[in-house]
Structure 1
Amino acid sequence: MNPGLRSNSPGVLGSVSRFWHKSYAPDYLGFALLFTGYIVVQFLVEPFHRMFSLSDLRISFPHAEVERVPLSLDFVYALFIPLIFIIVYNTTRGASTHKHHVAILGLAIAMILASFLTDVVKNAVGRPRPDLLARCKPKPGTPHDILVGIDVCTEASHHTLHDGWRSFPSGHSSFSFAGLGYLSLFLAGQMRIFAHGAHQGIGEHTEKLVRGDLVRALLCLAPLLGATMIAISRCQDYRHDVYDVCIGGLLGWTVTYWSYRRYWPRLGSSRCDEPYAGPPAAQDSGRYDRVRDEEEGVGLGQNVGSELHQLR
């Protein structure tokens, strides 16, 4: 049955259908499912335990009892700082409730999706951390030149031991690039670092690059530098190697860009500082009021949406 027909039907079913299609209910349901999946994977799923050798120098590094960026600080740097900054920025700029809403919702979805995917891959791959032997504390007399399993380990702490097989990819890296990467994209859009101006009249157009000054551009890059330093700290603590943190950072950046673009135009758009109208606009149009990239005159320096506005 056509969704539009269902949304126009009377009764409770019709009300639910209209609410579903004209609100962000699907996004919140998806967030809830991802959060539930993350909790299940985090606390109920154990990683695959690859076999290892006591003579493998790649897993012979010491176990750092005090981390440079513990998990609590990673939450502060990658989640709370971007969240507070976005709220304060939008408030001081007099942003609409819709802009506040989608800016926070996009960040939240990026963070939970990056965390969920990271933990799923961690447990499936089961790659030993560089400090595995220090965590494992093998039994005396364990052979050095053959492959052995987790059964030779004497570590009593369940989390300390099993977390030794969650090296790939780096969770700190994916989490920090998801949160601070989203903040970087948000700043670039609000400051219009890459925005293109559009036409000067009906039937004619010019292309003008509204390039932000270097200071503002560097400000947009600052969150990415912070994410990079968090990732580097994981190598310094011997929790991960360079491969782990690079893939983790790439995963976090990919997820956050995907989440950002669901709610915001491309950074080269002349309207990059304002989010898409989204489901609330469906009350009038019957669909998402999303201006597609090709409708913004990609390659023409022309914003078709603005031109249509002038014709009204």
Structure 2
Amino acid sequence: MPPNGRNGHPVGRLVERTGCIGSVARLWQRTYAPDYVAFAFLLTGYILAQLFMEPFRRMFLLSNPNIQYPHALVERVSMAWNIVYAGVIPLVILILWLAISRAGIHQFHVTLLGFFIALLLTSFITDVTKNAVGRPRPDLLSRCLPAAGTPKDILVNIEVCTEKDRHTLEEGWKSFPSGHSSFAFSGLGFLSLFLSGQMNVFRPRTDLGRALIAFIPILAAALIAISRCEDYRHDVYDVICGSLLGFAIAYFSYRRYYPRLRSPKCHEPFPSRGMTFNNGVGQNKDDEETAGAGLFELDDSDEAS
């Protein structure tokens, strides 16, 4: 049966209509409006989670050595500095790189859009997971300040805590995953992927200097993650899972707008939705579909040199 309308999709059929519905459908398909609408919903969900979602509070043992570490009043990397290191600095570098390389408006647009989506999606998933899991931090007892006479070998709950600062106490059950780690690997990981693509790091025999430049953001993110263990805010398990989560989302967001890093054109974003719409494609082709042209391969002359 032949497809009805453009590609047989509901939106594709609507774009062929006249009037208001057709105009909206064409706007939806030829622009990045779907991404911005989804971004708005994601931001709303994140704000609501911050305001109304309370963490699940697991019961704990006072004799558990894993939660007896001191509560550091001064963090090596505070939340504000983490935003600077993993959010502001990568954003500035992205803008400067695009400006110096005289990138087009489309590349400016999708690069910054992908970067902000990575940060927000990572923050949303991390915070929702933290509240749902309710894993005690290594410094829980220092936050809780259990009442005198509380049994040490019997499971107890938040009711035995005497800490008056509700925020300090509630944060004691937000250990998994590490938010600093996920945010750091999201922002700095996106920057690393971007630099790798712009400098063709995965081209055969690319010089080590380019690879090291692209690796610097990952090293910075790793140091931020390690600091969370040094401050006894998280254990290694929390940090590793947070780091993997952040980098996975960074890669997901980057690949929505850029080809894979082994593509000869990895420094160029996918064509804009407007261009593909006007060409009658209706959607971007995945670079994996262009099998032969999508990989760096050594030819005979390369192998002989």
Query: What TM-score results when the alignment is normalised by the length of structure 1?
Result: 0.89
Match of residue 283 from structure 1: 278
Offset from partner CA, 1:165-213 (integer Å, 9 cap, x none): 0000000000000000000000000000113xxxxxxxxxxxxx3x321
CA 1:90–1:124 in structure 2 vs 1: closer, same or farther (change >3 Å)? same
Which structure 1 residue ranges, 5 or more long, are not aligned?
196-208, 303-312
Which structure 2 residue ranges, 5 or more long, are not aligned?
1-8, 298-305
2:279 aligned counterpart, secondary structure: helix
Counterpart mapping for 1:45-124 below 5 A: 45-124=53-132
Give the CA deviation at 1:300: 7.0
Number of matched pairs: 288
Counterpart mapping for 1:70-219 below 5 A: 70-195=78-203, 209=204, 211-219=205-213
Give the CA deviation at 1:9: 1.2
Residue of 232, 235, 242 corresponding to 2:236? 242
Give distance in 1, aligned partners of 2:296 and 2:267.
17
| RMSD of Structure 2 on Structure 1 (CA) | 1.4
1:194 aligned counterpart, secondary structure: coil
Paired residue type of 1:54: L
Match of residue 261 from structure 1: 255
Give the CA deviation at 1:286: 3.9
Paired residue type of 1:64: A
Give the CA deviation at 1:246: 0.3
Paired residue type of 1:287: G
Give the CA deviation at 1:278: 3.0
CA 1:125–1:289 in structure 2 vs 1: closer, same or farther (change >3 Å)? closer
Q: Which moved more, 1:283-292 or 1:81-90?
A: 283-292
1:21 aligns with 2:29: yes
Match of residue 233 from structure 1: 227
Give the CA deviation at 1:290: 2.9
Give the CA deviation at 1:296: 4.0
Match of residue 290 from structure 2: 295
Paired residue type of 2:255: R
Give the CA deviation at 1:292: 2.4
CA 1:125–1:68 in structure 2 vs 1: closer, same or farther (change >3 Å)? same
Contact 2:126 2:177 in 1 (8 A): yes
Instruction: Give aligned-pair identity as a percent.
Output: 54
Give distance in 2, aligned partners of 1:301 and 1:94.
25
Offset from partner CA, 1:76-124 (integer Å, 9 cap, x none): 0101111110100000111000000000011111111111111111111
Match of residue 200 from structure 1: none
Give distance in 1, aligned partners of 2:127 and 2:43.
12
